[in-house]
Homo-oligomer: A and B are copies of this chain.
Amino acid sequence: MSVVEQPSRSAAARSRLLRAAVEAFAAKGFAATTTRDIATGAQMSPAAVYVHFRSKEEVLYELSGAGHRAFLKLIDDADDPTQPPAARLRAVVGALAAHHARDHVWSRVVNYELDSLSTEHLDAIGVMRKEVARRLGAIVDAGIASGVFDVTDPKATTTLLLSMGVDVARWYRESGAMTPEQIGEFQADMAARIVGARADGSAPR
């Protein structure tokens, strides 16, 4: 995972600290991680953390922001609005699930440490989380509107579709039976069932 990519030396140090922070937060949680842990993981001095970040919370905010921008970029890249709703749903659900397997350590920090953010930072991240849900919800709505999805509760359906992707980061193991791509493919198939999409794209019975 490349959290931040910038050419300068300072940016390289910052990026090393962020990578070390992901590992530390994932291993023992935000509250138990010290700035010394982060510095040690990056093979830097404890003071170095404060050269680049105001606080441990700012490190988490940076990681969380990068993580949520990655979710949004993933949707942008996967979603082709000129395609039929079922194809769009498959692409977006598949991409999110595969991402949560591939980057499961980072994704756990991004999804499970939200309560450790300051109120102001949580609000900013909340805007991005709502946007992720809004984009997936728009595809569900498009399928309903064109009569190819059979959905009774669009909001609960969208929550479920996001939820099954997010939870991959909890149960995924590199030693497991399925690759991230296979998990994405499987969840895409299941998403089509959940929304009651007809295989041929025609209107449901």
Binding site for B on A (CB under 8 A): 27-32, 111-112, 115, 152-153, 155-157, 159-160, 163-164, 166-168, 170-171, 177-178, 183, 186-187, 189-190, 193-194, 196
Looking at chain A's contact residues, the main secondary structure is: helix
Chain B contacts for A29, CB-based, 8 A: 28-32
Chain B contacts for A183, CB-based, 8 A: 156
- A170 CA / B129 CA spacing, docked (Å): 14
- A68 CA / B80 CA spacing, docked (Å): 43
Evaluate contact between B30 and A170: CB separation under 8 angstroms.
no
Set B27, B156, B164, B190: member contacting A167, Cβ < 8 A: B164
Chain B contacts for A27, CB-based, 8 A: 115
Q: Which residue of B lies closest to A112 (CB)?
A: B112
Evaluate contact between B170 and A166: CB separation under 8 angstroms.
yes
Chain B contacts for A153, CB-based, 8 A: 186
